């Protein structure tokens, strides 16, 4: 029997964005004296958040800008800026404060950003209008109603690793965000004013949206992980110190915490959601004993379909898995999916194919990238579909199993990385005269590490090469070793044999301790 498109949408087809913003304003007013954020162990109430939102709205209101750069710092004013921008009909484009300035300036150039909100002590954005929210004259609260809000209003543009060597922007609308929030709550994630929710992600990563938005819509308190500390250790500390009740995590966090599982008994935890990379079944089975009262979910979704698209409530026994990786479940409320062949046609259950997504969470497209839009999206059965590049298989019970990537993307620390982007930057160092290839490998501790293979050179240029890579790439995209080969192996099609390079890289890794280590977690 041919697999049919799965559609679990059950709620209204009406507007979602305006009700979401109204709910945010209502929450700030209704819970004014309750904590909204705990940042670096300091609490901020919903009243303080509302005042910060109102002050920023006053500064933003006269500006014609539709898209505003936001330096993604971890403080009250940065979170307030997100809400203020939405309420003023504008979007945020997050700029990582620790990533190479050249990358951030490239993003600014692509979107033609004229204004940047920055709470840093010293801003790098001297060519743009810079708003310093912590230095603004206080204004009335953010409870005031915003102007007309439509679902197609842009909420944010997130830049992810691009196959051309440049980061590519994913445009997400307020309607997408509101549909995602509705889908998340439809899973049965019920938060309230007494909940204490973890936010461990940089604002340049879309899992941050689920981590801050869901609690703020419900009057709960968001506890942020300090960006300057080792993440898994800070997650452990916050869970224990503040009796966290809800957490959205990347699986590598519990992998690093696993030696301490015998000491963890998080009785307060009600919900744990894993996403961002494959979830090892043995890790999560052990973790479930640490959170005996919690629902544990594996959720999945590309940035293009707004944070999470599918969800799987992991049972205590007999969990669905493929090659030791937990299944990703069923479509969320506002998501339609199909496992398709190369032409986008649905395949029978039990047959692997590319996962394609449609519905109210789907991006309008990539920013100013018509070619990529033609490649990634297609029309079928009256719907616009996105090709995820993920190979999945639909089981007889309707559960999806994830089987890997179709292309050269890998997940590292929850971030999606295009290997070809790293190769592009490396080639610019060698002026494109030297063959380069980046291959992923398991570093022996369950994490993905990257090896940069270079053809026909020795190690004399390794240090300047790494300095060059650091100038253009974030830390998680840096290779952990460089492998020098006199000539790249080729396969029977006379193409570079990446599998053989990967085998050589793994062998080299185990016989040579790399001179620089992966940074996180």
Task: Tell me whether residue 496 is in a domain.
Answer: yes
Same domain for 344 and 419, yes or no, is: no
Cα(315)–Cα(297) distance, integer angstroms: 9
Count the domains in the chain: 2
Of 401, 422, 439, the last residue of a domain is 401
Same domain for 453 and 312, yes or no, is: no
Neighbours of 390 (CB within 10 A): 22
Cα(251)–Cα(279) distance, integer angstroms: 6
Same domain for 384 and 300, yes or no, is: yes
Cα(314)–Cα(300) distance, integer angstroms: 13
Same domain for 71 and 172, yes or no, is: yes
Q: How confident is the model at residue 495 (pLDDT cuts 50, 70, 90)?
A: low
Task: Tell me whether residue 284 is in a domain.
Answer: yes
Here the CATH number for the domain that contains residue 172 is: 3.40.50.12780
Give the per-residue pLDDT at 5. Answer: 41
The answer to whether the CB of 185 falls within 8 A of the CB of 214 is: yes
- Is the predicted pLDDT of residue 493 greater than 50, yes or no? no
Identify the residue with better confidence: 511 or 290.
290
Give the per-residue pLDDT at 419. Answer: 86
Q: Stretch 263-286: mean pLDDT, rounded?
A: 94
H-run or E-run covering 214: helix 207-218
Same domain for 366 and 500, yes or no, is: no
- Is the predicted pLDDT of residue 132 greater than 80, yes or no? yes
Q: What percent of the chain has pLDDT over 70?
A: 93
Task: Tell me whether residue 9 is in a domain.
Answer: no
Say if residue 521 is preceded by a cis peptide, omega within 30 of 0.
yes
The answer to whether the CB of 196 falls within 8 A of the CB of 220 is: yes
Cα(139)–Cα(316) distance, integer angstroms: 51
Give the per-residue pLDDT at 383. Answer: 96
Question: What is the pTM (predicted TM-score) of this model?
Answer: 0.86
**Residue 311: both structure tokens together:** 């969800």
In a 13 Å sphere around the CA of 344, the CA atoms on its Cβ side amount to: 17
Residues 6+ apart with CB under 8 A from 464: 429
Q: What is the mean pLDDT of the chain?
A: 91
The answer to whether the CB of 475 falls within 8 A of the CB of 498 is: no
Looking up tokens 């062949």 gives: 341
Cα-flanking dihedrals φ and ψ of residue 504, to 5°? -65, -40
pLDDT digits (tens, 9 = 90+) for 421-477: 898 889 889 865 678 889 998 766 667 889 999 988 887 889 999 999 999 999 999
Give the per-residue pLDDT at 76. Answer: 99
Cα(321)–Cα(318) distance, integer angstroms: 9
Same domain for 466 and 367, yes or no, is: no
3-state secondary structure of 478: coil
How many angstroms separate the Cα of 53 from the Cα of each of 33, 89, 180? 16, 13, 23
- Is the predicted pLDDT of residue 492 greater than 50, yes or no? no
Same domain for 442 and 304, yes or no, is: no
Task: Tell me whether residue 370 is in a domain.
Answer: yes
How many angstroms separate the Cα of 113 from the Cα of each of 28, 95, 173, 240, 472? 30, 11, 18, 41, 20
Q: What is the 3-state secondary structure (H, E, C) of 106-148?
A: HHHHHHCCCEEECCCCCCCCCCCEEECHHHCCCCCCCCCCCCC
Cα(383)–Cα(375) distance, integer angstroms: 16
Of 401, 418, 434, the last residue of a domain is 401
Give the E-state strand segments of 371-457 in sequence order: 377-380, 383-394, 400-405, 409-412, 415-418, 436-442, 448-455
Per-residue b or e along 339-378, where b marks 16 or more CB atoms closer than 10 Å to that residue's CB: bbeeebebbebeeebbbbbbbbbbbbbbbebeebeeebbb
The answer to whether the CB of 450 falls within 8 A of the CB of 480 is: yes
Give the per-residue pLDDT at 423. Answer: 87
Task: Tell me whether residue 246 is in a domain.
Answer: yes
Same domain for 386 and 494, yes or no, is: no
Same domain for 53 and 176, yes or no, is: yes
DSSP at 298: E
Same domain for 45 and 194, yes or no, is: yes
Query: Out of 170-184, 198-212, 428-442, which region has the weakest mean confidence (pLDDT)?
Result: 428-442
**How many degrees, rounded to 5, is the angle at CA 119 between CA 159 and CA 141?**
100
Here the CATH number for the domain that contains residue 491 is: 3.30.300.30
In a 13 Å sphere around the CA of 294, the CA atoms on its Cβ side amount to: 26
Identify the residue with better confidence: 145 or 134.
134
Of 401, 434, 455, the last residue of a domain is 401
In a 13 Å sphere around the CA of 371, the CA atoms on its Cβ side amount to: 4
Q: Stretch 67-80: mean pLDDT, rounded?
A: 99
First to last CA, the chain: 45
The answer to whether the CB of 481 falls within 8 A of the CB of 505 is: yes
- The region that residue 354 occupies, defined by phi over 0 for left and psi between -120 and 50 for alpha, beta otherwise, is beta
Q: What percent of the chain has pLDDT over 90?
A: 74
Cα-flanking dihedrals φ and ψ of residue 348, to 5°? -65, 150
Neighbours of 255 (CB within 10 A): 19
Same domain for 284 and 212, yes or no, is: yes
Task: Tell me whether residue 394 is in a domain.
Answer: yes
Cα(11)–Cα(387) distance, integer angstroms: 25
Residues 6+ apart with CB under 8 A from 226: 40, 74, 234
Give the per-residue pLDDT at 512. Answer: 65
Same domain for 267 and 416, yes or no, is: no
How many angstroms separate the Cα of 408 from the Cα of each of 236, 419, 437? 33, 6, 11
Task: Tell me whether residue 4 is in a domain.
Answer: no
Domain with 441, as residue range(s), is 408-512
Task: Tell me whether residue 55 is in a domain.
Answer: yes
**Total residue count of the chain as it appears in this document:** 521
């Amino acid at each position: 029997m041919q697999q049919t498109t799965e559609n679990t949408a059950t709620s209204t087809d009406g507007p979602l964005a305006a009700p979401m913003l109204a709910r945010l304003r209502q929450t700030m007013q209704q819970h004014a004296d309750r904590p909204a954020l705990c940042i670096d162990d300091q609490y901020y109430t919903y009243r303080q958040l509302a005042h910060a939102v109102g002050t920023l709205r006053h500064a933003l209101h006269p500006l014609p800008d539709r898209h505003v750069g936001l330096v993604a710092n971890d403080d009250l004013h940065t979170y307030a800026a997100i809400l203020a921008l939405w309420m003023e009909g504008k979007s945020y484009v997050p700029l990582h404060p620790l990533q190479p300035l050249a990358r951030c300036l490239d993003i600014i150039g692509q979107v033609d950003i004229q204004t940047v909100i920055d709470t840093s002590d010293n801003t790098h954005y001297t060519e743009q209008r810079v708003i310093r929210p912590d230095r603004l004259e206080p204004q009335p609260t953010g409870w005031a109603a915003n102007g007309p809000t439509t679902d197609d209003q842009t909420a944010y543009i997130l830049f992810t690793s691009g196959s051309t060597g440049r980061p590519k922007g994913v445009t997400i609308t307020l309607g997408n965000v509101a549909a995602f929030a509705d889908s998340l709550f439809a899973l049965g994630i019920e938060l309230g004013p007494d909940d204490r929710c973890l936010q461990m992600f940089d604002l340049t990563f879309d899992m941050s949206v689920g981590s801050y938005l869901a609690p703020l819509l419900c009057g709960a308190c968001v506890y942020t992980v300090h960006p300057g500390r080792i993440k898994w250790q800070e997650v452990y500390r916050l869970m224990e110190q503040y009796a966290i009740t809800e957490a959205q995590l990347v699986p590598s966090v519990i992998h690093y915490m696993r030696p301490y599982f015998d000491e963890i008994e998080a009785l307060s935890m009600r919900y744990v959601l894993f996403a961002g990379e494959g979830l090892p079944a043995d890790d999560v089975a052990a973790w479930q004993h640490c959170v005996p009262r919690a629902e544990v979910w594996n959720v999945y979704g590309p940035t293009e379909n707004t944070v999470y698209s599918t969800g799987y409530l992991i049972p205590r026994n007999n969990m669905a898995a493929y090659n030791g990786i937990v299944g990703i479940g069923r479509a969320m409320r506002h998501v339609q999916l199909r496992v398709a062949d190369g032409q986008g046609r649905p395949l029978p259950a039990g047959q692997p194919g590319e996962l394609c997504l449609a519905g109210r969470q789907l991006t309008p497209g990539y920013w100013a990238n018509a070619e990529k839009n033609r490649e990634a999206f297609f029309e079928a059965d009256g719907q616009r579909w996105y090709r995820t590049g993920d190979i999945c298989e639909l089981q007889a019970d309707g559960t999806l199993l994830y089987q890997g990537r179709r292309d050269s993307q890998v997940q590292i620390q929850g971030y999606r990385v295009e290997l070809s982007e790293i190769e592009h930057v490396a080639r610019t160092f060698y002026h494109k005269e030297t063959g380069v290839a980046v291959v992923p490998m398991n570093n022996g501790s369950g994490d993905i590490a990257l090896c940069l293979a270079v053809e026909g050179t020795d190690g004399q240029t390794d240090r300047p090469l790494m300095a060059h890579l650091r100038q253009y790439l974030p830390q998680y995209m840096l290779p952990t070793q460089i492998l020098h080969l006199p000539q790249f192996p080729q396969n029977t099609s006379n193409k570079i044999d990446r599998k053989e390079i990967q085998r050589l890289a793994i062998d080299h890794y185990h016989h040579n301790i790399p001179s620089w280590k992966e940074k996180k977690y």
